[in-house]
């Protein structure tokens, strides 16, 4: 093991030995206001969708966005991409 890894290992070991330094349990974290894992996954997914997908969706032409069905939207996107190539 190299220096930083040994140090980290030693710190983890010390926190297990010294009472009161161990990390809080999952139940205690929830009690202190941390969101459950399933909720955190939803929030991450929404942030990803909002940050990455909506930016591009908003740049699409109105005719594509207002497509009456998914199949028509797919065809319109295919045609737009075909014109770019």
Q: Which of 85, 62, 64, 58 is nearest to 76 (CA)?
A: 64
- Can you give the pLDDT at residue 39? 78
Give the pLDDT score at 45: 77
CA-based nearest residue to 65, from 52, 50, 51, 80 = 80
Q: What's the confidence (pLDDT) of residue 46?
A: 75
pLDDT value for 13 = 76
Which of 49, 56, 53 minimizes the C-alpha distance to 81?
56
- How far is it, in rounded angstroms, from Cα 48 to Cα 54? 9
Low-confidence ranges of the chain (pLDDT < 50): none
The answer for residues whose C-beta is within 8 angstroms of residue 41's C-beta and 6 or more apart is: none
At residue 52, the pLDDT reads 76
């Amino acid at each position: 093991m190299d220096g930083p890894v040994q140090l980290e290992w030693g710190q983890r070991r010390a926190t297990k030995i010294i009472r009161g330094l161990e990390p809080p349990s999952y139940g205690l974290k929830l009690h202190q206001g941390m969101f459950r894992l399933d909720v955190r996954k939803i929030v991450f997914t929404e942030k990803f969708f909002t940050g990455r997908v909506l930016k591009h969706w908003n740049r699409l032409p109105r005719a594509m966005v207002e497509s009456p069905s998914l199949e028509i939207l797919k065809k319109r996107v295919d045609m737009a991409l075909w014109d770019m190539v």
